[in-house]
Amino acid sequence: MPLPAALAARLAKRGLIQEQPAPPTQSKQAEEVEEVFAEDYDDLSKPEVPEEETHTKVPQEEPPETEKEIDDTEYIHEVTACPNRWNPYHTCVKHCKNRWGMKTFAAEPEMLRKRERMLRKYPLPDGWKEVADPDSGRYYYWSMQTDQVCWLSPGHPSAIISAPAEILTGTLAANLDEDFEDQEEMEPVEDEPMEAESDMSGSSSESDSEGERRRAPPRREPDPPRQGRSGQGRSGRYQDDRRGRRGGGRSRRDDIDPMDPAAYSDIPRGGWTDGLDTRGAAKTGVDSTASGPLFQQRPYPSPGDILRANQQLKK
Amino acid sequence: MSYMLQHLHNGWQVDQAILAEEDRVVVIRFGHDWDPSCMVMDETMYKTAEKIKNFAVCYLVDITEVPDFNKMYELYDPCTVMFFYRNKHIMIDLGTGNNNKINWCMEDVQEFVDIVETVYRGARKGRGLVVSPKDYSTKYRY
């Protein structure tokens, strides 16, 4: 259904529609399809992916985040300059790219100098490519065979080679509850860029956005909502940390407090709801073992009050 | 058997029976008519009904037929007698530790009359708790 001319003009002015109406739902669907297609979850199970296959496919799909070959050696991790890219509820569509363009990679000479020094010392092995990351303004290294990434040259002693952040966070979100060991293994991934940072910068201080760098391990999957998922994964991991700590404390807490009535009598251990006011139960505190006017007991409510209370309970 | 005492068949009737009495104690027996201890209690109440009619009125409630109060009044005993005055529950210190009700059956007519009279006198003065003329804490001894 064509839009009214006035509305179309307003929407075009706000940048919400193009001149030739490309329906955003369709493009979104295409996005999802190609996301499934291009996503590489079998990173370790299928290491022999021919590199030209992935890379011939990537440009023709034009997802918002991908790696494009600028020339023979220069790869760039292409991301849109969309301001909403860090919004976990936002999925970059083609419009984001058209409207905001792509982020440009700006290398600082200091960083380039250190990179040179590192590469001279630890040259890249075969099958590893250097990819520019516009977000951090740094290069990372990507193995095209195994689809692993690393902030430092893989030969570097403190290099931590891992799967891309998208895959890590995806798996994190998938099996948050199941395995702790996996997350223990993944733990260094978060710290890796910081370590790499300190190593690369050597003794000189480099105070630019380290927090952001820590947040973003190398990405290479052409999948827009990754940042959101990485955030989820991180919080999930912290939750698990907490849980683990609690699990450690539980053994200590299992032995019973000697002042707890459960420790010296038949009373079962109470839960946190025990002793709370329960509706519909009489609170008379009748102690049938006591005799005489020991207790000024509370009288029962009148029958009318009880009937009304029962009515309330039924609701 | 007591066919003369009035039964109350639902919660509303219980409520109204208590509300309707302006200047008399309402004595309600919660239990079952077929229960032996209730039969004894009903017999006692029936015998006293004529004597106490000026200041008390007795009703019978089947706790299976009217289960509304079972939880709040903790009606677990086969026979329970409770006193109300002007829509207020009157506690009575019987020496048993449970001041809320008589939860056994009384055979002695005069004892019951004394208790009801004590309740009435105390309630007239605005007391919520009266002390029974006889201490029943040793009632199981004899």
Where residue B7 falls among pLDDT bands split at 50, 70, 90?
A: very high
Query: How much is the pLDDT for B15?
Result: 93
Between CA A65 and CA A34 the distance in angstroms is 12
Look at B71 and A299 and tell me if their CB atoms are within 8 Å. no
Place of tokens 């683990």: A244
Over residues A161-184, mean pLDDT: 63
- Per residue in A67-106, pLDDT tens? 554 445 578 887 888 888 888 888 888 888 888 888 888 8
Distances (CA, A) of A290 to A69, A202, A300, B131: 89, 79, 19, 15
Q: Enter the tokens of residue B130.
A: 């009266």
Query: Which chain B residue lies closest to A285 (C-alpha atoms)?
Result: B98
State mean pLDDT over A180-209: 42
Confidence of residue A198 (pLDDT cuts 50, 70, 90): very low
pLDDT of residue A20: 59
Helix (H) or strand (E) holding A141: strand A138-143
- For residues B65 and A203, the model is more confident at B65
**Closest to B18 (Cβ–Cβ): which among A287, A292, A303?**
A303
Structure confidence at residue B3 (pLDDT)? 54
8 Å CB contact between A197 and A156: no
Q: Is the pLDDT at B115 greater than 90, yes or no? A: yes
If one counts every other C-beta atom within 10 angstroms of the C-beta of residue B61, the result is 26
Q: Which whole-number Å values give the CA distances from A4 to A10, A13, A95, A214, A231, in the listed order?
A: 10, 14, 21, 48, 41
Q: Does B131 touch chain A (CB under 8 A)?
A: yes
pLDDT grade for B85, boundaries at 50, 70 and 90: very high
Q: Among A226, A222, A229, which residue's Cα sits nearest to residue A64?
A: A222
User: Which pLDDT does position B82 carry in this prediction?
Assistant: 94
At residue B68's C-alpha, the angle toward residues B63 and B73, to 5°, is 75
pLDDT of residue A210: 40
CA gyration radius, chain B: 14
- Partners of residue B11 in chain A, C-beta under 8 Å: 303, 306-307, 310
Taking only the tens place, the pLDDT of each residue in A106-128 is: 888 888 898 889 888 888 888 88
Joined together, the tokens standing for residue A79 give 């991301």
Angle at alpha carbon of residue A81, lines to A76 and A84, rounded to 5°: 130
Compute CA distances A28 → A22, A58, A84, A95, B54, whole Å.
11, 17, 16, 10, 87
State the alpha helices, DSSP H only, in B4-133.
Answer: 11-20, 36-49, 109-124
B82 and B60 in contact (C-beta within 8 Å)?
Answer: no
Q: Which residues of A113-128 are buried (b: 16+ CB within 10 A; e: fewer)?
A: ebbeebbeeeeeeeeb
Interface residue of A279, A289, A297, A298 to substitute, partner B, most B CBs within 10 Å: A297
- At A50 the pLDDT is 40
Contact A161, A149 (CB under 8 A): yes
Check pLDDT > 80 for residue A164.
yes
Q: What tokens were used for B75?
A: 């009606």
Q: Is residue A134 a contact partner of residue A79, using CB atoms and an 8 Å limit?
A: yes
Nearest to B69 among A293, A294, A306 (CB): A306
**Given this model, what pLDDT does residue A171 score?**
63
Which of A291, A295, A296, A311 best probes binding to B when mutated, by most B CB atoms within 10 angstroms?
Answer: A291
- Percentage of chain B modeled with pLDDT above 70: 94
The closest alpha carbon to B88, from B28, B6, B13, B18, belongs to: B18
Q: Residue A64 pLDDT > 60, yes or no?
A: no
Q: What is the pLDDT of residues A216-251, one digit of tens each?
A: 444 444 444 444 444 444 444 444 444 444 444 444
Cβ contact A282–B71 (<8 Å) = yes
Phi, psi angles (nearest 5°) of residue B46: -65, -40
